Amino acid sequence: MSQITKRSHLTVHINGETLNVSDKDAFLPLAQFLRNSLSKVGTKVVCAEGDCGACSVVASHYRNGAWTPLRTINSCIAPVFLFDLACIVTVEGLKDSEGLSEVQNKMREFHGGQCGFCTPGMVCSMAQLAEDCSAAKTEVTEKKARNYLTGNLCRCTGYEPILAAATHLELAKWKTMKERYLTAELTSQFKTLQTDGIEIVFENKKLTLPTDLASAVSLRQASPTSRIVAGATDIGVLVNKAKTSLQEILVLNKVSELHKIENTSAGVFIGAQVSLTDVEEFVRTSHPELKRLLHIFASPQIKNQGTLLGNVLNGSPIGDSIPALMALDAEIQFASKNGTRKVALKNYYKGYKVFDKTDDEIAVGILIPTLKGEYLNRFFKVSLRKDLDISAVTFAAVLKVQDGTLSEARIAMGGVGPCVIRLPQVEQHLVGKAFNENTFADAGVLAASLITPISDLRASREYRQLVTENLFKKCFHELSVENSVAEAVCP
């Protein structure tokens, strides 16, 4: 960072006001900063772990000379230091001098707010719904409303009046947040600040935000024990639950190289700072099955803030994206002072949270090869409910079938041992066999005998073994249905 202008504060725009934030405030969760430091108490904190959506606010980042889309995030787990050159709209910022916004009016008209705790978060999610539908010039349907509200829990009377409010939104009356807040004046103000690196020291805490990869690598080498924070949807929960505290923090969201997402001749390259939402949209045609899996990953708020690489690097045995990426033969790319290094994901996990990674390495991105020809793929997540739940077991299969015979098989599973694993013995068993139910039933029995699941809150060991057998059969049945096979073959 030596050649780069350094600021010792963050610059954040909240509800139309630009603030310089430093010292203690820079390290607080955003919700706490809004409520305690700015007295914007409309934003509520209920679960403090990203689960309920009460703390939802809308945010856009000024990055690489442009604004990212305005999207909801959970402010209870997102530290303020992730929001340099961001525009944040809280529930207080939705009304204007003429009165309440269209979403607030409809929530009032349809009696959508009951306890008052969840309502501000619901309203913010609905504001994003109105914003997106206005931009796309599309109607608000109940399906869309349900999707946008997936991350907002109502614990009292249910969703009927809330959905009624959403589906009766009159978009002509919606004054877009983009026009109201992402003004030319703010844009030119932030443009002059975008190349600033940031360093903030407060008591025993130190925060650094470099603006290019070379500086990030040098900083990492100088402080290999600093904590890299991407979206903080894993780290923020640990901090709030006092399971970790952040002293030296390295934030890479100002490094433009890490926001790259592109199709290459070898596959889709996804930079380390790309959000799960952007990945879900980008892989729609190249990897439709991955897109389907990401649709049931967490909630919009978590996917807007969290990154795909964060999921991979956090390395939970039940990280939802990992089996799919492993079966797709994805490869992580690291950078350090020694240059760059590629690691096949199937070799990255060595045990529970033990990785093939040195302390000075920074993940740059992940390459996901594109499937061609007769490849079929199925990725499953088994959880107690469909949305916003932690998996008990995850399953991924990438298969090649030629003349009714399996000629290639890549199988990966999560929730069945200390880390996500490939199952080479099962893969060998499948290759050369007929593509039929017996083959998959036998493979399931073999897989169940090889895995080492534990019993925990989510499922017993026996359940995980049984579900493993059943997932192989489900995989066969889904792929063998004619239409399903046609859908599953990637272009």
298 binds, among ligand FES, ligand FAD, none (CB under 5 to 8 A by kind): ligand FAD
CA distance 208 to 216: 9
Interface segment toward ligand FES; rule CB under 6 A; list 52-60, 136-144, 221-229, 424-432: 52-60
| Amino acid present at 406 | L
DSSP letter, residue 77 = T
Complex with ligand FAD: residue 128 or 307, whichever CB lies closer: 307
Measured torsion, CA atoms of residues 92, 93, 97, 102, in degrees rounded to the nearest 10: -90
Pick one of ligand FAD, ligand FES, none as the site partner of residue 207 (Cβ within 5 to 8 A by kind): none
CA nearest 26: which of 205, 278, 221, 255?
205
61 burial level (CB within 10 Å; 0-12, 13-18, 19+): buried
Site residues for ligand FAD per CB under 6 A: 49-51, 227-235, 237, 252, 272, 276, 297-298, 302, 306-307, 309-311, 313-314, 319-320, 362-363
Contact 413, 453 (CB under 8 A): no
* Least distance between ligand FAD and beta carbon 60 (Å): 17
Choose among ligand FAD, ligand FES, none what residue 237 binds, the Cβ cut-off being 5 to 8 Å by kind.
ligand FAD
From the CB of 356, what's the least distance to ligand FAD, in Å? 13
Nearer residue to ligand FAD within complex by CB, 42 or 50: 50
**Minimum separation from the CB atom of position 78 to ligand FES (A):** 9
Q: Does 406 bind ligand FES (CB under 6 A)?
A: no
Q: What is the CA radius of gyration of the chain?
A: 23
User: What is each CA distance from 464 to 327, 475, 479, in whole angstroms?
Assistant: 20, 16, 22
| Contact between residue 281 and residue 33 where contact means Cβ atoms under 8 Å apart | no
The CB density around residue 146, as the number of other CB atoms within 10 Å, is: 15
Minimum separation from the CB atom of position 81 to ligand FAD (A): 12
Of these partners, ligand FES, ligand FAD, none, which one is at the site of residue 454 (CB under 5 to 8 Å by kind)? none
In angstroms, the CA 300 to CA 287 distance is 20
Least distance (Å) from ligand FES to the CB of residue 300?
12
- 459 class by beta-carbon count within 10 Å (0-12 exposed, 13-18 middle, 19+ buried): buried
Residue 156 site contact among ligand FAD, ligand FES, none (CB < 5 to 8 Å, cut-off depends on kind): ligand FES
The four Cα atoms 129, 134, 139, 141 give a dihedral, to 10 degrees, of 0
Smaller CB distance to ligand FES: residue 53 or 365? 53
The DSSP call for residue 287 is -
Contact with ligand FES (CB under 6 A): which of 119, 150, 277, 316? 119
Please report whether residue 124 would count as binding ligand FES according to CB under 6 A.
no
Residue 335 binds: one of ligand FES, ligand FAD, none (C-beta under 5 to 8 A by kind):
none
For residue 51, state whether it binds ligand FES (rule: CB under 6 A). Answer: yes
As measured in angstroms, the least distance from the Cβ of 50 to ligand FES is 5
b/e 386-407 (16+ beta carbons within 10 angstroms → b) = eebeebbbbbbbbbbbeeeebe
Q: Which residue stretch of 53-61, 262-270, 278-286, 345-353 sits at the interface with ligand FES (rule: CB under 6 A)?
A: 53-61
Q: Which amino acid is at 450?
A: L
Report if residue 33 touches ligand FES, rule: CB under 6 A.
Answer: no
Q: Which is nearer to ligand FES, 165 or 447 (CB)?
A: 165
Footprint on this chain of ligand FES (rule: CB under 6 A)? 45-48, 50-55, 74, 76, 113-115, 117-119, 154-157
